[in-house]
Chain A
């Protein structure tokens, strides 16, 4: 709070941060010392005792000092990004303890000097108040480190056995949208929300609401698309236990394998959060995810040798490929097989089939279709127009089809299209140029040969090198005619470069002897 003004809004760093992090160690001193002071005072009160007030003075003075230290370290630590109601309450109570302990110490000091009874009464009142405030302060502090309800948890019934007993594969019932409510929320509540929840939001992260999950924390968004591999959340959880940044911290209960699998599956499905409808990371709300395809529909496809496979484990989306029966596949086959899975198809290859316009009308009703391969079919412009303004297609392969420049309008009407293949179709260079002009971000591959122009050619090395021409047989002439090692005539086949000059030898053994001690033979060189 006030300290943040001092820190100019930034988090503490360097020795100041170290000072703040002493808080968890120092805070035990005032607890113990105040309790000791109270115990001594009670003993004296009930049983009487020596008149010496030295021991109580020492106790309360160190207690006050340590309470002040604990409170100030706590204030610094707070600035490291611990937020939440519980933190604020703990802070206020901690400051109160420090103030009350200081007042108690002052009163006691006054009493030891003047022996006025009022001072002693005041001391006892302040001391009692400090101890009373200490209890909730400590409790809230404990909640912050160990998680809310750490103390009373053993008394409560386990709320969400579903979380840890859930099968890794997600099993039958839960569609990805239900996944959040049935499995993910309980996991986050039991494993994470103690520190990243309602009470406190370490690292500015709150995992108890869909909004908080979508917002992410100090280190950024928790997800990047439906990619578990790029999810910060999963990365932290999967980090080695000993690694810095592993979550939950080593000392806290760790998620089970099944819980990890459920998290991964959920992220893979795009981290849907059900009715609250907050899509992860992005602001755009994706179209509702379909249910898994009916097993009978999958069986029917497979019976016709159509390859069908979820695009990833636990995903309802399908990759459907007519590669095996392609040459026999007509509209009626394709329609009958695809109709039951229109919701689920994400990648579809109808390459080399005999389909026509009517199948594409069916394809137009596939809301999640990302990639459509129509390579080597007889489809033309009119057929392609049946796609309409398909809102999901990103990749479209029209290579070796009959589409012409007349398909340009249809293609431009596909808002999400990023890659297009038209090689071998009847589309002309003009059509391709128009597509590139109207949609510069669209990659159009028309099979044009890559630019073979060389950028830079190796400089012909100057001294002491064997130009590549040597490979073709042009041997450079050695500077010597007799072998410096043996004195025999030089065979130009055996040569080395020494100090920029070509030196010849009589046989293959002499270069080795020469290199072993060039100085010895230097005088033999011309």
Chain B
């Protein structure tokens, strides 16, 4: 690692030496690139990209595929019957339902109908999403390795179940950099609501990549980025002079010590300086017309809601942010699924669909990939007692549904079939899409060969897809 920024520094220094600008604070600003932020690894994408940015609507907790996109009438017909061993085939369950006397099958609590030209089955919990199915590529045969939240969502966000790897957005920031030098290339927003499953910073962390590539979290409230504004009585000019002085000192320190984190820290300070202007502008919704708030739903007026974040995501996409990750917790319906699903879908359905519609009419969906999904699915049997009006569903990694839209994805496609009890993928060799496949396909759309975007750390080249992943061209237009 250490060789790279040094040679980069050397070439920049040679450039500066050749020009008439002396070293010093000005020079160091140029060195870090006033117009370059941090220097991305790739000078250009490997191939022509279909997507220039990604909006990832991360549904944390694991939404039920059975109540959303995977219609299983057979489950309703066989309500209450135990899950046959011929289907389960001894596959592991969690400790939460593994010791249950029976695993009673239970069908969707929501009603399904076919929508759009493509005729996709979508439940009535998602009426707005149903209205845009022709733009969605619904993958019903996602599969993950992990059965518990922490490893599963870490896997989904970083490509590995163990903590410590860089997240998707960090890889992208590292590889391609920003397309708006006034904003970070990776921004994160978490719905402000109490939830069983914590949303921790590693899901948008930079792992072993230089730390300026980590996601920057936008907070609800007056200060979208905490501690970004200058303290009272500190002017912008004064802050500029301060950063110049810090830059000169850092240049000195870096020349002596060569620690790349010195550059990272300064890059972040410079980015923060630019963000003092750009973030308030991007987060200011005062110019948005009522029609837009109507589209995203009344919640979009409230800071910290999912709807607000979807609207902000559109504004950030308009401004060229590469990776926008929205995390919405609360999908972990071990019990009280019927009421829980109604709440969760009400919080997300309209805004998710609105985002796609809003991007589309602005021409942004052409080069923006929108991704909706959680870390795993839910079991087709009830966790806990199955009663007339209530039941729950446990974690289910063997099949779950998510959707993609925009940028080169085949709209109106429903990919794959699960078995009639929604337990296994009917034809896994053909249909199963692994998390690694999802990452490989996403990077492919972004113009990146997933096997080539690597980072050497502790003697080994790492990549988002580790040693796995296939670009699933079947999903692409």
Contact = CB atoms under 8 A, between A and B. Distances in A.
A386 B375 CA distance: 50
B112 A321 contact: no
A515 B366 contact: no
B98 to A, nearest CB: 14
A315 B44 contact: yes
A397 B362 contact: yes
Contact of B320 (A321, A509, A515): A321
B343 to A, nearest CB: 13
Given A315-B44, A493-B385, A497-B80, A307 B179 contact: yes
A445 to B, nearest CB: 6
B79 A229 contact: no
Contacts of A445: 360-361, 363
Nearest to B127: A452
A480 B320 CA distance: 64
A447 B110 contact: no
B115 A400 contact: no
Interface in A311-346: 311-315, 319, 321, 323-327
B229 interface: no
Interface in A422-456: 423-424, 445-447, 449-452, 454-456
Given A312-B46, A312-B447, A493-B385, A471 B113 contact: no
A473 interface: yes
Nearest to A326: B319
Interface in B136-184: 178-183
Contact of A466 (B33, B76, B119, B278): B76
A307 B180 contact: yes
A399 B362 contact: yes
A468 B110 contact: yes
B35 A455 contact: no
Interface in A484-501: 492-498
A419 interface: yes
B241 interface: no
Contacts of A454: 113-115, 130
Nearest to B358: A447
B44 A456 contact: no
Given A476-B388, A508-B384, A450 B44 contact: no
B109 interface: yes
A463 B73 CA distance: 12
Interface residues of B, number: 73
Contact of A312 (B48, B76, B112, B132): B48
Interface in B38-52: 42-49, 52
Given A305-B181, A495-B388, A497-B79, A447 B361 contact: yes
A452 B35 CA distance: 46
A294 to B, nearest CB: 15
Nearest to B341: A471
A44 B130 CA distance: 94
Please report whether the interface of chain B is mostly helix, strand, loop or mixed according to DSSP.
loop
Contacts of A475: 387-389
Contacts of B211: none
A250 interface: no
B297 interface: no
Contacts of A400: 362
A302 B44 contact: no
A287 B100 CA distance: 70
B102 A511 contact: yes
A266 to B, nearest CB: 13
Interface string A459-480: 0010111101011111110000
Contact of B44 (A226, A313, A465): A313
Nearest to A302: B35
Contacts of B135: 450
Contacts of A60: none
B36 interface: yes
B400 interface: no
B107 interface: yes
A465 B110 contact: no
Q: Which of B131, B181, B363 gathers most chain A CB within 10 Å?
A: B363
Given A321-B320, A466-B107, A468-B108, A511 B80 contact: yes
Contacts of B362: 375, 397, 399-400, 421, 423-424
Nearest to A466: B79
Contacts of A419: 363, 366
A315 B48 contact: yes
Nearest to A491: B387
B81 A497 contact: yes
Interface in B398-421: none
A498 B80 CA distance: 8
A470 B80 contact: no
Chain A CB within 10 Å, residue with most, of B80, B119, B130, B180: B80
Contacts of A466: 76, 79, 106-107, 388
Nearest to B473: A229
B363 A421 contact: yes
Nearest to A300: B35
A496 B386 contact: yes
B376 interface: no
A351 interface: yes
A315 B35 CA distance: 22
Nearest to A229: B47
Interface in A224-282: 226-229, 268
A211 to B, nearest CB: 27
A170 interface: no
Given A312-B44, A455-B119, A471 B107 contact: no
A171 interface: no
26 contacts: A302-B33, A303-B34, A303-B35, A304-B35, A312-B47, A312-B447, A313-B47, A399-B361, A421-B363, A447-B357, A454-B113, A454-B114, A456-B113, A457-B111, A458-B112, A465-B77, A465-B107, A470-B389, A473-B389, A476-B388, A494-B387, A496-B386, A498-B80, A508-B384, A512-B101, A516-B102
Given A319-B52, A445-B361, A511-B104, 11 more contacts: A302-B33, A421-B362, A424-B361, A446-B361, A455-B116, A457-B114, A458-B111, A461-B73, A494-B387, A512-B82, A515-B104
Interface of A: 226-229, 268, 302-305, 307, 309-315, 319, 321, 323-327, 351-352, 371, 373, 375-376, 395, 397, 399-400, 419, 421, 423-424, 445-447, 449-452, 454-458, 461, 463-466, 468, 470-476, 492-498, 508-509, 511-513, 515-516
Q: Which 10 A-B pairs have the closest CB atoms?
A: A512-B101, A496-B80, A323-B320, A447-B361, A475-B388, A508-B385, A397-B363, A423-B361, A512-B102, A421-B363
